[in-house]
Structure formats: C-alpha cells, structure tokens
Copies of this chain bind each other. A is one copy, B any other.
Amino acid sequence: MPELQPIYVAGQWRAADSTGTFQAANPATGETLPDAFPISAWPDCDAALTAASAAFAELQLLPPARIAEFLRAFATKIEGQAEVLCATANRETGYPLKPRLAEAELPRTVNQLRQAADAAEEGSWQNVVIDSKQNIRSHLTALGPVVVFGPNNFPFAFGSASGGDFAAAIAAGCPVVAKANTSHPATTKLFMEAAAAALAETKLPTATVQLIYRTSHADGERLVADPRVGAVAYTGSRNAGLKLKAAADAVGKPIYVELSSVNPVVFLPGALAERSEKLVDEFVGSCLMGTGQFCTNPGLLVFLKGDATDAFLSAAGKKFAAAPAGALLSSGVADSLRRGVEVLQQAGATVVADSGAVTQPGFRCPNTLLRVSASQFVKNSHALQTECFGNESLAVVADDLPQLLAVLDQLEGNLTGCIYSDTTGKDDAHYAPIAAKLRLRVGRLLNDKMPTGVAVTAAMNHGGPFPATGHPAFTAVGIPAAIKRFGMLACYDNVREPRLPAALQNKNPTGKMWRSVDGAWSQGDVA
C-alpha cells in the first residue's frame, strides 16, 4: 500500500482524516498509477471551510490588485512547471503531450488566469451602477468561499485548482476549496503546490486556495449546503450534479452546474451540395478529437433525407471506421459510453459504422456513428438524447422540414447548436425557422463551424438552458462574465462617501473601470 498523499488545508500539507483511499489509472494502458489519495471525512471539509471563511474576511480588505498579482504569479509558476504538469496529466488522462496538453490546454489555462488577473484589477466585472442624485450605488462583490468541482476532461483549463471556475472565483475575491477530479488527482496536487507557492510569494492568505481529493456523496452534499459556502461550481456527470444542486438549492446557495449537452448540428441540403467533403472532415475531426471528450462535442447531427445525406454519413462512417479508437479518461467513462450506445440502439438507432473491436490496451470504445429516423426520434426523444460522452455521434434524418422542426421541439437544453448552410443563400428559407427553434434550446448558436472550440472572449457563452446548466443567464467561459457568477449584488443607499468601497466612490479607482453613472457608461469620475 503506497503512502497516502496529503491534502492542503489552512495553509498546510497534512494527512487527511480519511475514510478510504483511491488511485487513478493511466487511461492509455489501463494500469493503476502508484500514488494513493485519501477520501476525506467531514472534519477535513469543516476545517477547509473554517479556513476559507477567515481567508475570505482577509481578502475583503485587500485591493483587487493584490489578487491580480497572485493570479499572475500562479500563471508564471505553472509555466515553470509545464514539463512535469504535462507529463503527469499525460499519465492521468491519456491526452497527448503535444499538441493537446503542452501546446493547447496549458497556454489556454495561463491565458485565462492572466485575463482574470486583468479583469480583477481593472474592475469592470463588478458592474458598478451609480445614481449620483439619490446617492444609491451598487456593484457585484465577492459572495464568499467557493467550492469548485472540476471535470475529468480538462485537467488544466477546467481543473478545480487551475481552471476557468477557479480563476473566476479568485478574481471575484472568493477563496476556493478545490475538490480534485478523481481521475487526475496528482495533476491537481501539482497545481495546488504552484498555487501555494504563489500565495506565499504574493502574501495572500494561505487558505485562499485549498485542496481535498474526494469525499463521500453525503459529505459532498453537506459541503455545498454549508452556511460558510458562498457558491459552488460543478462540471461533471448529470446524476452527481443534480444531487449537489438539490442540496445547494434547498438552502438558497448559488450553484453553477454544467451537466450534459449533445450539441445538435443541422446540415442543410445546400451546404451538403456545396461542400460535403469539407464538412465530413470538419465533423469527424471535431467528433473524434480528444476521443470526443468535450462538453461541446457534436453528438447529434440533424439532416433532411436524400442522397447527399446518405453520402455524407457513408463518408463520415468510413473515417470513423478507419480512425483508431482513442483512450477514454477512465473505465467509468468507457462503461458509460458503452451503456449510452446501447440505450440509443434500444431506442431505435442503428450503427452506420464503427471502428470494430478494440485491440489496444487502456480504456477504449469503438468510434461509433449511429443513425435514426426523425419519426423515431420524436417518438423516443428522451432516450435518444442520452449523452454519450466520447467518440460517438447520432445522426437524425428527417423526411421534410416540418419533421426536422419537430425534432428540434423535442430537444432539451444544450450548450451549443450549429447550422451549416450554403454560402450563396440557397438554404435561407430553411435557416430562419430552424434557427428560431434551435436558438431557444442552446446557449450558443453557430453558423458553419463546429462547436468544439470555446474561445475565451467576453462575448462567449459556455452555458445554456437546463440540463446543459442550471441557469440560462450565466456562462462558465468568457471574462468578465464568468466572474460575475461569484458576485452578490451589494447596494449602498445614502452611505457616506468615505465609507463606500473604492469602486463606488466618485473617483474612478483605476481610471479604466467601466461604470454606469446616471445611465451612461464611462471610465471617468462621478462629476
């Protein structure tokens, strides 16, 4: 039995109060990795929350520039540890070192942290509104410690101690209690080490970031409902997420969950006639990249029937069959994908093509392209929207436009929806009614572009109607919007000016912060 790894609570690496242990596995080989990690009992959570509360009180008194300083120092330390981070994540996720880990996800992660640093320092995320005549002023401000549950599929960019939710919560001024994803605990531990070093260097409270690896389900539900918690961010499986959501909702605690999405993509006939081969490549590349393990993976294709559709599916199927089956993040992901494909088949879908029996070691399932008629989809739309997280996609083929629209009417909430159309306008008559329906069911509507890429820009929405997320007005990606999730609205009515937070005083504290003053946005002072 290997020695148990320590947790990081209240500024100390220390042994957990553990009720059990777990080890991660190398998805590419299936082998158990050597490090053993503790399953924390409630006292670990309790200690972390007490320390987080004290850190929160301290952070309230510091200028935002201090938080920015930490985020930047952390980004630099991550870059300094890039080699070991990538090697460790490679072992724990099976993702290739290059380009995925070293050239895509790590740069994205430090970029997010630096964007968050800039946003924290500049302050516009606070959405300051000033009524100077009545002296009523409001802004968003940190709502308390945030518990972050990171997903399995982005060990860096959505990691609980490094990713988008982490960066947003810290930028808002909220300490983070990171709950590692159990598929990459060693990677998360490395981030915690870098964060602790950056906290020490920038003299922030040592409990601004803390790490536990795992708890019982009951303790997880107790954790998110604890009065010391300000908010919760969770990205992961629907079942576990709904339990945490119910626990937090019952006590009125904001919880931002990202649960599931099949990301419908509609291919209109003109687009197929115009550039089918290119679209096959785009789709197959997007669907099989990272073994399809993206929240925005194109899992549901929608077509009108015809030879062009058959040809598209036949060509895509050949590529699915020919591509090697990539590694999946865990045996659980592989089991869940196999079960999902079975559910789709039992609900009437048939296999267009797959890549055949898996021969390589590790956690793998065949690349699988399925097909079902729109009439069957409408009859059994719940089962046929089962998210198959991984290298799979289901094509729905409609007889005509009304049937295609009926398919869209059955869709649950999704992160994204796409429409591919002819570039010269031949699909325009179809576009409008399809877009009108799709738009209401997705957070991001795309044209002529696969949904897999999620640009880190202020205009991004990585969110959507339930069950994609728990509230359709918030995004997990995009700064400053993602930061706003961790703010509470604080209004000051008739408060004497020296008592106001700097952001609400007459003088613009940074000269860069956008504020809405008497109905006009400005970077200036209040007259």
Contacts and interface: CB of A to CB of B under 8 A. Distances in A.
A35 interface: no
Nearest to A487: B473
Contacts of A416: 493
A33 interface: no
B136 A459 contact: yes
A188 B469 CA distance: 35
A520 to B, nearest CB: 8
Interface stretch (A83-91, A148-156, A340-348, A445-453): A445-453
Contacts of A57: 436
Which among A440, A467, A493 has the greatest number of chain B C-beta atoms within 10 A? A493
A252 interface: yes
A416 B439 CA distance: 38
B138 A491 contact: no
How many copies of this protein are present in the complex? 2
A130 B459 contact: yes
Interface string A405-446: 000000001001000000000000001000110011001111
Given A252-B413, A254-B473, A459-B136, A481 B445 contact: no
A413 B252 CA distance: 10
A266 to B, nearest CB: 13
A466 B252 contact: yes
Given A254-B472, A459-B130, A444 B488 contact: no
B250 A457 contact: no
B439 A490 contact: yes
Contacts of A252: 413, 465-467, 469-471
Contact of A250 (B246, B253, B436): B246
Contact of A444 (B469, B471, B493): B493
Contact of A473 (B137, B253, B489, B521): B489
Closest 3 CB pairs of A and B: A252-B466, A461-B491, A521-B521
